[in-house]
């Protein structure tokens, strides 16, 4: 049976799963998931038609939902090799950053018509693009813990803690691990990685950039760029 990764190609959660799979050379095919409309077929494919679903999801002999679960299943011995306590600590901070980052990027997209036109799937006609994206973001507001108040401060707090946990080292642990992947991907919400890794349209990219924090944490961003070059 083909191993299929259901993904939103630009989503940092999907990128975490792809990076882990690619790191250990898993042979898999990528399938783009269409939020909302794609949910029911994917829930059925996982065998849990009534359960809330998010991507990434792997469908193979068994289905696995969630970026970390996928990484643990396929790359457990290579990416979770030591100091689980620190991996959990770093992963929790990265996840907190990503939840707040989702809110900020969605709010920015909602106030930028050009970004909404870019963000809609290609098959959506011009006249409907803004409406479709607004609809999608409203579903995100209902589905996730969506709290705009204080989101930027939450991200700054996470960045401070992560920078101090990294302590200027090349990797969070003694060697490259899931902790590095989790942080690199979370930083997508502060300063998106170069096009060659994840292609974003220009206005959409602007909405994912937090210039003040990107400049305040430029060393962490530079570390992310080096980590992509070394391990991606
Ligand atoms: N805890 C999950 C979170 C994944 C997640 O938030 N996925 C979002 C990416 S934006 C998603 O599936 N959005 C589309 C939807 O909810 O329909 C993981 O780590 O995989």
Q: Which domains does the chain have, with CATH numbers?
A: 4-79 (3.40.30.10), 84-231 (1.20.1050)
Sign of CA pseudo-dihedral 197, 82, 158, 147? positive
Q: Which residue among 55, 70, 144 has the greatest number of ligand 1 atoms within 8 angstroms of its CB, and so is best to mutate? A: 55
For 27-62, write each residue's pLDDT tens digit. 999 999 998 889 999 999 999 999 999 999 999 998
Core vs surface per residue 39-57: b (16+ CB within 10 A) or e: beebbeebeeeeeebbbbb
Q: Are 226 and 165 in contact (CB under 8 A)?
A: no
Instruction: Please tell me the predicted confidence (pLDDT) of residue 1.
Output: 84
pLDDT at 169 over 90: yes
∠ CA 22-145-102 to the nearest 5 degrees? Answer: 50
| Residue 212 confidence class, pLDDT cut points 50, 70, 90 | very high
- Give the residue whose CA is nearest to atom 11 of ligand 1: 54
Average pLDDT, integer, range 174-194: 98
For 132-164, the pLDDT digits (tens) are 999 999 999 999 989 999 999 999 999 999 999
Residue 82 confidence (pLDDT) above 90: no
Helices and strands (H and E) in the chain: how many: 11, 4
Q: What is the pLDDT of residue 168?
A: 96
Does ligand 1 have an atom closer than 6 angstroms to the CB of 7?
no
Q: How far is the CA of 146 from the centre of ligand 1 (A)?
A: 13
DSSP H helices, 24-128, are 39-45, 67-79, 84-110, 113-119
Of residues 129 and 81, the one with the higher pLDDT is 129
191 lines ligand 1 (CB under 6 A): no
> Beta strand 4-7 with 29-32: parallel, antiparallel or unpaired?
parallel
Cβ neighbours around 58 below 10 Å, total = 24
Q: In this predicted structure, what is the pLDDT of residue 81? A: 87
Q: Are 163 and 80 in contact (CB under 8 A)?
A: no
Is residue 100 scored above 90 in pLDDT?
A: yes
pLDDT of residue 36: 86
Q: Is 13 in the pocket of ligand 1 (CB under 6 A)?
A: yes
The protein residue whose alpha carbon is closest to atom 14 in ligand 1 is 35
Q: Is 175 a residue whose pLDDT tops 90?
A: yes
Rg (CA), the chain: 17
Integer Cα distance of 97 and 151 in angstroms: 9
- Residue 15's pLDDT is what? 98
pLDDT tens for each residue of 111-136:
999 999 999 999 999 999 999 999 99
Q: What is the pTM of this model?
A: 0.97
Q: Is the CB of 38 under 6 A from ligand 1?
A: no
Contact 124, 136 (CB under 8 A): no
CA of residue 182 to ligand 1 center, whole Å:
14
Mean pLDDT, range 198-225, rounded to an integer: 98
């Amino acid at each position: 049976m083909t191993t299929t990764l259901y993904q939103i190609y630009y989503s940092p959660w999907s990128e975490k799963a792809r990076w882990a799979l690619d790191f250990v050379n898993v042979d898999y095919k990528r399938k783009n998931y269409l939020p909302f409309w794609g949910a029911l077929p994917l829930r059925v494919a996982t065998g849990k038609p009534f359960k809330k679903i998010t991507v990434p999801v792997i469908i193979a002999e068994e289905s696995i939902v969630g970026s970390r679960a996928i990484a643990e299943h396929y790359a457990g011995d290579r990416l979770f090799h030591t100091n689980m306590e620190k991996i959990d600590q770093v992963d929790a901070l990265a996840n907190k950053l990503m939840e707040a980052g989702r809110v900020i990027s969605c709010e920015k997209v909602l106030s930028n018509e050009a970004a909404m036109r870019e963000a809609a799937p290609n098959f959506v006609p011009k006249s409907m693009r803004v409406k479709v994206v607004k609809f999608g973001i409203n579903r995100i507001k209902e589905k996730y813990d969506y709290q705009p108040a204080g989101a930027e401060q939450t991200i700054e707090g996470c960045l401070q803690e992560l920078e101090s946990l990294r302590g200027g080292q090349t990797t969070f642990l003694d060697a490259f691990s899931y902790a590095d992947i989790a942080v690199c991907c979370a930083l997508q919400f502060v300063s998106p990685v170069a096009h060659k890794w994840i292609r974003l349209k220009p206005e959409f990219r602007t909405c994912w950039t937090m210039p003040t924090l990107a400049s305040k944490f430029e060393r962490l961003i530079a570390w992310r760029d080096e980590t992509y070059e070394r391990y991606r």
